[in-house]
């Protein structure tokens, strides 16, 4: 096993060099030989969390392992450009949820762009471009007249037009990364530009076009994390939900009013805070969830019910560790991670007033 690059993953009160190495090795231990990264061995894989874990591996310099994760996606993409929502232990022949979710499918573009920036591997970009292209086309086939993206296709192919704010925000980031990939290949995609502009406008100006999930912290911070809401508007959004979702000393609630904080949401909030220049508060959030760290594996428990002082559920998830590593990498100045989440080299100015 290689020794991960951890110099930019060392953060006071969060990770020492030894702890960072243990976390990366814990994540590598979850990955199957074929490249699949399930939540943990014996549990399911979903394409979004698989990609987030691959990005964390790239942030640690484990580029070969990350490339195998993307090769798994390329090999097992459905003919329509999608992936299924869940595969038992990452086994492509054992699908446990045949729905095809748009944000799950779109996120490959974020991962591929991140890997390209981390490695400069033009051959990888050439190999993965057809996968990204097909995924984007699948997603945009479910875009609604108001700009928002329908949630999924049911197993029988029926489209679900209802849109999720978190999912559509994630797709906004993915479309911008897909456009950056297209630009790198000198293959402009004007229809994608129009689509991401309409989507950003819906996220910023038309909350009524999305299902009401405002009890969930992801709907609070994800428009900021994904770059759909920025500047003073982003700062105002973060401030408006802070007391509702942040539990000092414990982390971020997944959903109010439940007394349950989760490591994944906490790390993603830290990453969102970093994008708006609030690195000190990002650090405080990451420090607050170290009670979730398992010292034996280097991984992190999914969540903690602070009212009962109990870990729940009792599972050490790859994506929780992945989210934390990406947040630490951004704070540590890892170039590819910073570029993807700060929006460097991604298109701006694509808002679409025509969709008012």
pLDDT in tens, 16-26: 999 999 999 99
Instruction: Check residue 345 and give its pLDDT.
Output: 83
The mean per-residue pLDDT over the stretch 147-151 comes to 98
Residue 207 has pLDDT above 60, yes or no: yes
Residue 142 has pLDDT above 90, yes or no: yes
Please report, rounded to a whole number, the percentage of residues in the chain having pLDDT higher than 90.
94
* pTM score: 0.97
- Which of 27-41, 78-92, 308-322, 335-349 shows the lowest per-residue confidence on average (mean pLDDT)? 335-349
Residue 87 bridge partners (DSSP): 45, 95
Residue 32 has pLDDT above 60, yes or no: yes
Question: What's the mean per-residue pLDDT of the chain?
Answer: 96
C-alpha distances (whole Å) from 101 to each of 31, 105, 138, 142, 330 are: 23, 6, 10, 10, 28
Instruction: Check residue 349 and give its pLDDT.
Output: 55
Instruction: Check residue 355 and give its pLDDT.
Output: 40
pLDDT-based confidence at residue 1 (cuts at 50, 70, 90)? low
Instruction: Check residue 344 and give its pLDDT.
Output: 86
Place of tokens 């990350």: 66
CA–CA separation, 77 and 251 (whole Å): 35
CA–CA separation, 144 and 211 (whole Å): 13
């Amino acid at each position: 096993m290689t020794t991960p690059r951890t110099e930019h993953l060392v953060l006071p009160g969060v990770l020492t060099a030894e702890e960072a190495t243990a976390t990366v090795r814990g994540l590598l231990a979850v990955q199957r030989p074929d490249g699949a990264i399930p939540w943990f061995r014996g549990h399911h894989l979903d394409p979004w969390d698989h990609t987030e874990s691959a990005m964390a591996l790239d942030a640690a310099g484990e580029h070969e392992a990350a490339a195998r994760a993307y090769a798994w996606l390329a090999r097992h993409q459905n003919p329509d450009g999608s992936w299924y929502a869940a595969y038992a232990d990452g086994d492509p022949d054992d699908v446990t949820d045949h729905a095809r979710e748009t944000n799950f499918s779109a996120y490959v573009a974020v991962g591929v762009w991140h890997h390209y920036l981390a490695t400069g591997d033009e051959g990888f970009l050439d190999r993965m471009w057809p996968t990204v292209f097909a995924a984007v086309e699948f997603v945009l086939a479910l875009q609604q007249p108001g700009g928002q993206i329908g949630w999924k296709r049911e197993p029988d192919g029926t489209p679900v037009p209802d849109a999720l704010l978190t999912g559509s925000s994630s797709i906004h980031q993915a479309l911008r990364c897909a456009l950056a990939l297209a630009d790198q290949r000198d293959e402009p995609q004007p229809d994608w530009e129009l689509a991401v502009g309409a989507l950003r406008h819906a996220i910023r100006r038309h909350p009524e076009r999305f299902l009401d999930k405002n009890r969930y912290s992801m709907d609070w911070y994800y428009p900021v994390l994904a770059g759909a809401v920025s500047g003073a508007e982003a700062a105002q959004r973060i401030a408006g939900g802070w007391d509702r979702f942040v539990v000092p000393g414990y982390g971020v609630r997944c959903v109010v009013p439940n007394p349950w904080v989760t490591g994944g949401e906490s790390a993603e909030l830290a990453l969102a805070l970093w994008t708006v220049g609030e690195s000190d508060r990002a650090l405080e959030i990451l420090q607050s969830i170290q009670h979730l760290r398992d010292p034996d594996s280097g991984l992190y428990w999914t969540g903690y019910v602070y009212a009962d002082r109990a870990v729940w559920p009792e599972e050490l998830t790859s994506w929780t560790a992945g989210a934390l590593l990406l947040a630490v990498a951004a704070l540590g100045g890892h170039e590819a991670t910073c570029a993807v989440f700060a929006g460097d080299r991604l298109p701006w100015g694509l808002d679409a007033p025509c969709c008012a």
